[in-house]
Each structure stands twice: as C-alpha cells, then as structure tokens.
Amino acid sequence: MKNHEINVLANTHGTGISLRKLISSLVSSSSKSAAVNKVFILNEVSAEFLIPTEQVKVISVIKELLAAMASNGRNTCISVTAERFTDTIILNFEDQNNYNGYALSFSLMAIEQHARFAGGDISIDGAQKKVATVSFSFPGPSLPRNPVYVH
C-alpha cells in the first residue's frame, strides 16, 4: 500500500489508520481472486479500531492474510471482525465453509514470519473443520488510563 493511500485511511486526528477502511480497501484489491473462487468477504470491523501510524508493517500482513483467505476459500463467506484486549488488537477472519484447511495452513506458514516482524502473531482455529478462524494479533494504540479523582 502506498503512502498516499495510507494517508487517506488515517483518521482526522492523525493518531492512526482506520482498520475498517483499510479492510474495505484491501478487499477491493483482492476481489479478482475472491470472485473466481466465489468468496464473499464481509467487513464487520467497527469504526473505532485504529492501527497506530507507527505500525504500518501490519498493513501488508493483513493484505497477505486477505489474499490467502480469498485464494484458499471456495463458495464461502469470510467475515472479518476485530476485538481489543488491553493494548492488542485481534483481527479475526472466519471462513464459514473451510474448503482445504491444509492449503490454508500452508499459506499461513508463509505469512507467519512477516507477522512476527511486524510485532504480531497468526493462529488458526479449526483448520480441519467446516468453520475455520484465522486470527492476527498485533499491538494497537494504548488505551487511555482512567483518571483518578481526588476530593
């Protein structure tokens, strides 16, 4: 992803890149593979999730994950969701009709080192089941600390 594309995705305060907008942008770039394999990607990431601007390395990992999910899926819907645990964002890709878990697992192995270099980690749950979930966890923006009020 080019710098000018990243700037468009950045929020108005300059504190991060909208994860929802990023996913939408990347889905459109992987639409050819998804269309051939009849894969529909549903972006259910809330608008509140931001990738810190210093974490741009995770963008290419997310792009690779979407491409792997689209190229290994067949006749399926893949929902993309995000959740936060303290200072970590977990991006989940859930394939409702897992076609070939072995091929998907192999594709993920090629991305794992790149994810670690970006400060994240990839895992797969249900690789040999009908529903498979690929998770990518990476550092997110620090949450504001609760203020302490003194009376």
Buried b / exposed e along 115-137 (16+ C-beta atoms within 10 A): beebebebebeebeeeebbbbbb
Mean model confidence pLDDT for the chain = 85
Provide the percentage of residues in the chain whose pLDDT is more than 90: 56
**pLDDT at position 8:** 47
Tell me the backbone φ, ψ of residue 146, rounded to 5 degrees: -70, 130
